[in-house]
Amino acid sequence: MEASLRGKVCVVTGATSGIGRATAEALSAMGAELGLVCRDLERGEALRAELISKPGAAPVRLFEADLAVQSQVRRAAAEILAAYPRIHVLVNNAGVVQLEYKETTDGIETVFAVNHLAYFLLTMLLLDRLKESAPARIVNVASHAHKFVKGISFDDLGHRDSYGWTRVYGQSKLANILFTRELAHRLEGTGVTVNALHPGAVATGLGKNNGAFSRVLIGLLSPFFRSPANGAATSIHLASSPAVEGVTGRYFAKCRELEPSAAARDDAAAKQLWDLSTRLTGLDAQVAAMTSGAR
């Protein structure tokens, strides 16, 4: 059984289904006060009602945001900061898969925007509060899919003319791990840890936005997938377990540390991705310097 989170505030993105929902349910059961970032408020309200109906449950608040839209990420972050004088855990979980090239309203390829830039932007906007609340933890849901690619295509980030979902999704998951690695270096000595994880092949709603074929394929494969509860186990472990207190910059699967691909251990690429992410999110130098020990 993981440690009690009574008196702790945990923020979770993508919490209304799949791994995110299972993560929110477990953290709530440990006594955490939850801030749930969700795109669909109706589903969010249903989850909130379910969670607070449990005996001894701490409060649950909802923050509406489409994480593909940077202005909405910023608004949600401002609302979270106004609501919580302390934030002890941030779980970046929300993600998408697209079979065709699409852009966000910010002009960025959608998968990279949601799966990486939303992690980066929300984390950076909440980072001072996390540091003030230390010891605190950041958990980034990545994937073994990072091994689909040999590096970040900095010169062709969106692959508009050569789009392939495995390449684009894999790149976004590689970005999660590189971001985790760079942020861990920059947070040394602050009491805030950051780790990434592979949840496994999980039966969730990921990819069901891509039409009838994808829904049928996912339905056929679902019996071979792990349940969301099993898939969330490593997220929950990293968010709450005393066993990983002080551990940072690492990659986990099945609650154990693993070594990611060589591309995911490239410090030069991690720094380049950091600088690119800062530009693409419009973070100025003052905000980008919120991390101590910047290299």
Q: Return the pLDDT at 49.
A: 98
Once rounded to an integer, what is the mean pLDDT over residues 7-17? 96
What count of Cα atoms within 13 Å lies in the side-chain half-sphere of residue 141? 30
Whether the Cβ atoms of residue 249 and residue 194 lie closer than 8 Å to each other: yes
pLDDT band at 204 (very low <50, low <70, confident <90, very high): very low
Q: What is the pLDDT of residue 285?
A: 67
Which are the catalytic amino acids? Answer: 169
Q: Give the pLDDT of residue 224.
A: 36
What's the rounded Cα separation, in Å, for the pair 281 and 34? 26
Mean pLDDT of 108-114: 97
The pTM assigned to this predicted structure is 0.91
227 pLDDT above the threshold of 70: no
Tell me what the mean pLDDT of segment 230-258 comes to: 96
Q: Which domains does the chain have, with CATH numbers?
A: 9-283 (3.40.50.720)
Question: Pairing state of beta strands 256-258 and 251-253?
Answer: antiparallel
Q: Out of 17-21, 43-47, 100-104, 262-266, which region has the weakest mean confidence (pLDDT)?
A: 17-21
The confidence score (pLDDT) of residue 205 equals 47
- In angstroms, the first-to-last Cα distance of the chain is 38
pLDDT of residue 3: 76
